[in-house]
Protein backbone atom coordinates (compact mmCIF):
# COMPACT_ATOMS: atom_id res chain seq x y z
CA UNK A 1 0.00 0.00 0.00
CA UNK A 2 1.19 3.51 -0.80
CA UNK A 3 0.47 4.81 2.70
CA UNK A 4 2.69 2.08 4.17
CA UNK A 5 5.62 3.52 2.23
CA UNK A 6 4.72 7.02 3.37
CA UNK A 7 4.67 5.88 7.00
CA UNK A 8 8.03 4.13 6.80
CA UNK A 9 9.72 7.12 5.19
CA UNK A 10 8.09 9.56 7.60
CA UNK A 11 9.47 7.55 10.52
CA UNK A 12 12.95 7.56 8.98
CA UNK A 13 12.77 11.32 8.37
CA UNK A 14 11.53 12.06 11.90
CA UNK A 15 14.26 9.98 13.54
CA UNK A 16 17.01 11.45 11.36
CA UNK A 17 15.75 14.95 12.13
CA UNK A 18 15.56 14.09 15.83
CA UNK A 19 19.19 13.03 15.85
CA UNK A 20 20.20 16.34 14.26
CA UNK A 21 18.11 18.16 16.87
CA UNK A 22 19.93 16.30 19.66
CA UNK A 23 23.32 17.39 18.31
CA UNK A 24 22.25 21.02 18.72
CA UNK A 25 20.52 20.30 22.05
CA UNK A 26 23.80 19.05 23.53
CA UNK A 27 25.76 22.05 22.25
CA UNK A 28 26.03 25.67 23.33
CA UNK A 29 23.36 26.84 20.88
CA UNK A 30 22.08 30.34 20.20
CA UNK A 31 18.41 31.32 20.29
CA UNK A 32 16.84 33.73 17.79
CA UNK A 33 13.29 35.04 17.95
CA UNK A 34 10.62 35.27 15.28
CA UNK A 35 8.29 38.21 14.73
CA UNK A 36 5.78 36.70 17.19
CA UNK A 37 8.56 36.42 19.82
CA UNK A 38 8.64 32.61 19.64
CA UNK A 39 12.11 31.07 19.85
CA UNK A 40 14.02 29.68 16.87
CA UNK A 41 17.23 27.65 16.95
CA UNK A 42 19.59 25.98 14.51
CA UNK A 43 17.86 22.71 15.43
CA UNK A 44 14.56 23.92 13.92
CA UNK A 45 16.30 24.76 10.66
CA UNK A 46 18.36 21.56 10.45
CA UNK A 47 15.33 19.35 11.15
CA UNK A 48 13.26 21.18 8.53
CA UNK A 49 15.92 20.65 5.87
CA UNK A 50 16.25 16.93 6.67
CA UNK A 51 12.52 16.22 6.65
CA UNK A 52 11.69 18.28 3.57
CA UNK A 53 14.61 16.72 1.71
CA UNK A 54 13.67 13.14 2.57
CA UNK A 55 9.98 13.57 1.79
CA UNK A 56 10.59 15.40 -1.49
CA UNK A 57 10.71 12.12 -3.45
CA UNK A 58 6.95 11.70 -3.05
CA UNK A 59 6.19 15.00 -4.78
CA UNK A 60 3.52 15.79 -2.20
CA UNK A 61 3.24 19.45 -1.14
CA UNK A 62 4.69 20.23 2.28
CA UNK A 63 3.58 22.76 4.87
CA UNK A 64 6.12 23.42 7.61
CA UNK A 65 6.47 25.88 10.46
CA UNK A 66 9.96 26.66 9.18
CA UNK A 67 9.07 26.72 5.48
CA UNK A 68 8.04 29.63 3.35
CA UNK A 69 4.56 31.10 3.77
CA UNK A 70 2.37 29.55 1.10
CA UNK A 71 -0.71 31.50 -0.09
CA UNK A 72 -4.08 29.84 0.45
CA UNK A 73 -4.84 30.24 -3.26
CA UNK A 74 -2.05 27.71 -3.79
CA UNK A 75 -2.79 25.48 -0.79
CA UNK A 76 -6.50 25.19 -1.50
CA UNK A 77 -5.65 22.98 -4.50
CA UNK A 78 -3.79 20.51 -2.29
CA UNK A 79 -6.05 17.57 -1.46
CA UNK A 80 -3.10 15.76 0.14
CA UNK A 81 -0.12 17.38 1.87
CA UNK A 82 2.52 16.84 4.51
CA UNK A 83 2.21 19.04 7.59
CA UNK A 84 5.36 19.05 9.68
CA UNK A 85 6.77 20.73 12.75
CA UNK A 86 10.52 20.06 12.66
CA UNK A 87 10.85 20.98 16.35
CA UNK A 88 7.65 21.22 18.35
CA UNK A 89 8.21 22.66 21.79
CA UNK A 90 11.15 24.95 21.12
CA UNK A 91 10.52 26.59 24.51
CA UNK A 92 11.01 23.17 26.14
CA UNK A 93 14.11 22.66 23.99
CA UNK A 94 15.56 25.97 25.19
CA UNK A 95 14.73 25.03 28.80
CA UNK A 96 16.48 21.66 28.18
CA UNK A 97 13.69 19.65 29.82
CA UNK A 98 13.44 17.10 26.98
CA UNK A 99 9.74 17.68 26.30
CA UNK A 100 10.03 18.47 22.59
CA UNK A 101 9.16 16.43 19.52
CA UNK A 102 9.56 16.10 15.79
CA UNK A 103 6.14 15.93 14.11
CA UNK A 104 5.20 14.67 10.64
CA UNK A 105 1.61 14.22 9.43
CA UNK A 106 0.02 13.31 6.13
CA UNK A 107 -3.28 15.12 5.65
CA UNK A 108 -5.93 14.24 3.07
CA UNK A 109 -9.10 16.30 2.57
CA UNK A 110 -8.40 18.20 5.77
CA UNK A 111 -7.96 15.09 7.93
CA UNK A 112 -4.69 13.68 9.32
CA UNK A 113 -4.48 10.09 8.04
CA UNK A 114 -0.92 9.34 9.16
CA UNK A 115 1.18 10.74 11.98
CA UNK A 116 4.67 10.33 13.42
CA UNK A 117 5.80 11.95 16.68
CA UNK A 118 9.39 11.39 17.80
CA UNK A 119 10.64 12.48 21.23
CA UNK A 120 14.43 12.11 20.92
CA UNK A 121 15.37 12.80 24.55
CA UNK A 122 12.62 10.52 25.89
CA UNK A 123 13.49 7.87 23.22
CA UNK A 124 9.81 7.44 22.32
CA UNK A 125 8.42 7.08 18.82
CA UNK A 126 4.68 7.32 18.28
CA UNK A 127 3.20 6.46 14.90
CA UNK A 128 -0.28 5.96 13.53
CA UNK A 129 -2.09 5.36 10.28
CA UNK A 130 -5.70 4.87 9.38
CA UNK A 131 -6.52 1.14 9.07
CA UNK A 132 -3.33 0.29 11.02
CA UNK A 133 -3.95 1.94 14.41
CA UNK A 134 -1.70 3.83 16.80
CA UNK A 135 1.52 2.55 18.37
CA UNK A 136 4.43 3.51 20.61
CA UNK A 137 8.00 2.27 20.14
CA UNK A 138 10.42 2.66 23.04
CA UNK A 139 14.22 2.70 23.21
CA UNK A 140 16.77 4.01 20.72
CA UNK A 141 18.22 0.56 20.04
CA UNK A 142 14.82 -0.63 18.79
CA UNK A 143 14.13 2.63 16.92
CA UNK A 144 17.56 2.63 15.26
CA UNK A 145 17.22 -1.03 14.26
CA UNK A 146 13.88 -0.33 12.59
CA UNK A 147 15.28 2.72 10.80
CA UNK A 148 18.20 0.66 9.57
CA UNK A 149 15.77 -1.84 8.10
CA UNK A 150 13.74 0.96 6.52
CA UNK A 151 16.93 2.27 4.88
CA UNK A 152 17.65 -1.23 3.52
CA UNK A 153 14.01 -1.64 2.38
CA UNK A 154 13.59 -4.74 4.57
CA UNK A 155 11.07 -3.26 7.02
CA UNK A 156 7.27 -3.44 6.71
CA UNK A 157 4.48 -1.99 8.80
CA UNK A 158 3.99 -5.51 10.20
CA UNK A 159 7.57 -5.39 11.49
CA UNK A 160 6.92 -1.99 13.05
CA UNK A 161 3.84 -3.23 14.86
CA UNK A 162 5.67 -6.30 16.21
CA UNK A 163 8.27 -4.07 17.87
CA UNK A 164 5.73 -1.61 19.29
CA UNK A 165 3.02 -1.24 21.91
CA UNK A 166 -0.54 -0.83 20.65
CA UNK A 167 -2.34 2.27 21.91
CA UNK A 168 -4.19 2.89 24.12
CA UNK A 169 -2.22 1.01 26.76
CA UNK A 170 -4.93 1.23 29.39
CA UNK A 171 -4.64 1.90 33.09
CA UNK A 172 -6.01 1.04 36.50
CA UNK A 173 -9.70 1.76 37.00
CA UNK A 174 -8.75 3.40 40.31
CA UNK A 175 -6.84 6.21 38.62
CA UNK A 176 -8.61 9.56 39.03
CA UNK A 177 -9.86 11.59 36.08
CA UNK A 178 -6.69 12.96 34.51
CA UNK A 179 -6.19 16.18 32.56
CA UNK A 180 -3.03 16.93 30.60
CA UNK A 181 -2.25 20.56 29.84
CA UNK A 182 0.46 22.84 28.59
CA UNK A 183 3.57 23.29 30.68
CA UNK A 184 4.51 26.62 29.05
CA UNK A 185 1.14 28.06 27.98
CA UNK A 186 -1.16 27.88 31.01
CA UNK A 187 -4.14 30.22 30.73
CA UNK A 188 -7.01 31.36 32.92
CA UNK A 189 -9.38 29.46 30.61
CA UNK A 190 -7.45 26.24 31.31
CA UNK A 191 -7.56 26.87 35.06
CA UNK A 192 -11.33 27.37 34.86
CA UNK A 193 -11.70 24.18 32.82
CA UNK A 194 -9.76 22.18 35.43
CA UNK A 195 -11.91 23.67 38.22
CA UNK A 196 -15.07 22.61 36.35
CA UNK A 197 -13.77 19.04 36.07
CA UNK A 198 -12.91 19.00 39.77
CA UNK A 199 -16.50 19.99 40.52
CA UNK A 200 -17.76 17.21 38.25
CA UNK A 201 -15.37 14.39 39.21
CA UNK A 202 -14.07 15.33 42.65
CA UNK A 203 -10.50 14.04 42.57
CA UNK A 204 -8.68 15.19 39.42
CA UNK A 205 -5.04 14.76 38.44
CA UNK A 206 -3.28 17.31 36.25
CA UNK A 207 -0.22 16.43 34.18
CA UNK A 208 1.80 19.35 32.76
CA UNK A 209 3.59 18.48 29.52
CA UNK A 210 5.18 20.14 26.53
CA UNK A 211 4.73 19.88 22.76
CA UNK A 212 2.60 17.22 21.05
CA UNK A 213 3.36 14.83 23.92
CA UNK A 214 0.06 16.04 25.41
CA UNK A 215 -1.94 14.48 22.56
CA UNK A 216 0.16 11.33 22.85
CA UNK A 217 -0.61 11.02 26.57
CA UNK A 218 -4.32 10.91 25.71
CA UNK A 219 -3.54 8.40 22.95
CA UNK A 220 -1.73 6.20 25.49
CA UNK A 221 -4.66 6.38 27.90
CA UNK A 222 -2.57 8.02 30.62
CA UNK A 223 -4.80 11.11 30.42
CA UNK A 224 -8.55 11.34 29.85
CA UNK A 225 -8.59 14.75 28.25
CA UNK A 226 -6.38 17.49 26.83
CA UNK A 227 -8.09 20.88 26.61
CA UNK A 228 -6.18 23.33 24.44
CA UNK A 229 -7.64 26.69 25.34
CA UNK A 230 -4.84 28.79 23.88
CA UNK A 231 -3.46 29.37 20.37
CA UNK A 232 -1.78 26.62 18.35
CA UNK A 233 -0.95 26.26 14.69
CA UNK A 234 -1.83 23.34 12.43
CA UNK A 235 1.74 22.00 12.42
CA UNK A 236 1.66 21.84 16.22
CA UNK A 237 -1.17 19.33 16.25
CA UNK A 238 -1.55 17.40 12.97
CA UNK A 239 0.77 14.48 13.78
CA UNK A 240 -0.43 14.10 17.37
CA UNK A 241 -4.01 14.39 16.11
CA UNK A 242 -3.47 11.33 13.90
CA UNK A 243 -1.92 9.37 16.78
CA UNK A 244 -4.69 10.26 19.24
CA UNK A 245 -7.54 9.64 16.79
CA UNK A 246 -6.13 6.29 15.62
CA UNK A 247 -5.93 5.33 19.32
CA UNK A 248 -9.65 5.99 19.72
CA UNK A 249 -9.68 9.58 21.00
CA UNK A 250 -11.93 12.36 19.68
CA UNK A 251 -10.49 15.72 18.63
CA UNK A 252 -12.96 18.55 18.22
CA UNK A 253 -13.25 22.31 18.33
CA UNK A 254 -14.29 23.88 21.61
CA UNK A 255 -17.03 24.77 22.28
CA UNK A 256 -18.72 23.92 18.93
CA UNK A 257 -17.83 20.20 18.98
CA UNK A 258 -17.14 20.06 15.24
CA UNK A 259 -14.06 18.09 14.06
CA UNK A 260 -10.74 19.89 13.92
CA UNK A 261 -9.63 20.22 10.28
CA UNK A 262 -6.44 21.18 8.47
CA UNK A 263 -5.10 23.20 5.54
CA UNK A 264 -7.52 25.98 6.38
CA UNK A 265 -7.14 29.48 5.00
CA UNK A 266 -6.14 30.58 8.50
CA UNK A 267 -3.59 28.07 9.81
CA UNK A 268 -4.31 29.07 13.42
CA UNK A 269 -6.25 26.34 15.19
CA UNK A 270 -9.37 27.21 17.17
CA UNK A 271 -9.53 26.07 20.78
CA UNK A 272 -9.96 22.31 20.84
CA UNK A 273 -10.40 19.25 23.05
CA UNK A 274 -8.73 15.84 22.79
CA UNK A 275 -10.81 13.35 24.74
CA UNK A 276 -10.97 9.61 25.31
Write the pLDDT tens digit of every residue in 118-134: 999 999 999 999 999 99
- Work out the mean pLDDT of the chain and round it to a whole number: 93
Residues 2-166, CATH architecture: 2-Layer Sandwich (3.30)
Residue 142 has pLDDT above 70, yes or no: yes
Residues 177-275, CATH architecture: 3-Layer(aba) Sandwich (3.40)
Among the residue ranges 8-22, 129-143, 168-182, 225-239, the one predicted with the least confidence is 168-182
Residue 1 has pLDDT above 60, yes or no: no
Question: Which residues make up the CATH 3.40.190.80 domain(s) of the chain?
Answer: 177-275
| Mean pLDDT of the 128-152 span | 96
What's the pTM value of the predicted model, to 2 decimals? 0.94
Residue 33 has pLDDT above 90, yes or no: no
| Mean pLDDT of the 237-259 span | 97
pLDDT in tens, 205-220: 999 999 999 999 999 9
> Can you give 190-238 as a three-state secondary structure string?
HHHHHHHHHHHHCCEEEEEECCCHHHHHHHHCCCCEEEECCCCEHHHHH
Among the residue ranges 45-49, 194-198, 241-245, the one predicted with the least confidence is 194-198
Residue 163, phi then psi, degrees to nearest 5 = -95, 10
| pLDDT number for residue 6 | 97
| pLDDT number for residue 203 | 87
| Mean pLDDT of the 53-81 span | 93
- 99 contact partners, CB below 8 Å, separation of at least 6: 89, 92, 119, 121, 122, 183, 209, 210, 211, 213
Question: Which residues make up the CATH 3.30.540.10 domain(s) of the chain?
Answer: 2-166
Share of the chain above pLDDT 90, in %: 78
* C-alpha span between 186 and 174 (Å, rounded): 27
Residue 68 has pLDDT above 90, yes or no: no
Confidence of residue 175 (pLDDT cuts 50, 70, 90): confident
pLDDT higher at 43 or 219? 219
Among the residue ranges 31-40, 57-66, 161-170, the one predicted with the least confidence is 31-40
Residue 178 has pLDDT above 60, yes or no: yes
Amino acid sequence: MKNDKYLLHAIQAAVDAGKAVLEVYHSDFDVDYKADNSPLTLADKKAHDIISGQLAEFEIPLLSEEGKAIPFDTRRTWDTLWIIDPLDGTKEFVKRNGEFTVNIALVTAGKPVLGVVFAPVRKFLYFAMQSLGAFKMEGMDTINAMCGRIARSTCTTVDLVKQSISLPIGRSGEQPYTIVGSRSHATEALENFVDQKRSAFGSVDFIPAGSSLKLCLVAEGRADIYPRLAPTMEWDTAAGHAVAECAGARIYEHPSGIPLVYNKENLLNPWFIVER
